[in-house]
Amino acid sequence: MQPRTSLSPGKCSVLGVGISTTSYDAVVDRCTAWIEERHLTKRKIDAKYICVTSVHGVMLAQRDSELRSIINRADIVTPDGMPIVWAMRSFGRKGQQRVYGPALMLALCRRAAEAGHRIFLYGSRPETLRHLQQNLRAKYPQLNIAGACTAPFHALTPEEDSRIQQIILHSNCDLLFIGIGEPKQSRWMADHLASFPGVIMLGLGAAFDFHAGVQKQAPEWMQNSGLEWLFRLFNEPKRLWRRYLLITPWFLPRWGVQWLRLRCPRRSRLAF
């Protein structure tokens, strides 16, 4: 496999995490090109992986250098939350827009239905997967869902991991959508790069629950104003209170420190 750089060109460092300067169309077109390359070439090519990264992911990476390295090695890292977008704009990426995981999933499904690409769904509960497949097929009747597999909540045993790998391989999928939460899904993708040659893996977090109708998405005005976290906290306080009250609030002062260092590099000696 070809070596991966620590921070690829086309990425903007947000607290040391490389976030891609990209868009929905750019990601979909890039994935389409990778799939076409896979179908045309006779040699095995590397798997690709895409991280959909919010403030939570960036802040987890501050504490975990291994996770930060995994995200930085990703082929694409989309800015999933508005605070990430605002930070990138403040660092000079003026036209950057949000590339939201659930919306990206639908954009890729739409292109897959048009182009005949095969998708696989890995993660969540059996009932959620069933509703997710029904809803995706209703929205995109031509979509080829090559398979689906739930993910245990416990750490996978070698036997379980091998079984899941075989199911995914036998599906001959082009796109592997993963909904097992962060940082678990990023680690899983990095650990399985050699397992699925030519496959594009995407860590999509809560997108499965949203599109299955299990969880409600925040209204668009809350998403655009950076208040999606408040909506999710209100709906899932027991699961999310630590994330939104103890972890993500530290993003704002650290963003300010990075902005100050970039603006006044000679005067500022602050470190993250």
pLDDT number for residue 45: 83
Segment (H or E) for 146? strand 144-149
pLDDT per position as a tens digit, 202-211: 999 899 999 9
Q: Identify the bridge partners of residue 117 per DSSP, sorted by sequence position.
A: none
pTM of the entire structure?
0.90
CA angle 77, 80, 84 (to 5 degrees): 90
pLDDT number for residue 267: 53
Among residues 149, 139, 94, 87, the alpha carbon closest in space to that of 112 is found at 139
pLDDT number for residue 9: 54
Higher per-residue confidence, 241 vs 265: 241
pLDDT number for residue 2: 37
State the average pLDDT over residues 142-146.
98
Phi/psi for 117 (5° steps) reads -75, 150
CA angle 243, 229, 128 (to 5 degrees): 85
pLDDT per position as a tens digit, 70-102: 999 999 999 999 999 999 999 999 999 999 999
Is cis: bond before 183, omega within 30 of 0?
Answer: yes
Q: Grade residue 244 by pLDDT with cuts at 50, 70 and 90.
A: confident
Q: What is the Cα–Cα distance from 77 to 111, expressed in whole angstroms?
A: 20
Phi/psi for 145 (5° steps) reads -90, 105
Domains of the chain: 11-218 (3.40.50)
What is the total residue count of the chain? 272
Q: Is residue 104 scored above 70 in pLDDT?
A: yes
pLDDT number for residue 185: 95
Task: Of 1-15, 140-154, 254-268, give the lowest mean pLDDT range.
Answer: 1-15
**In the chain, count of helices (H) and strands (E)?**
13, 8
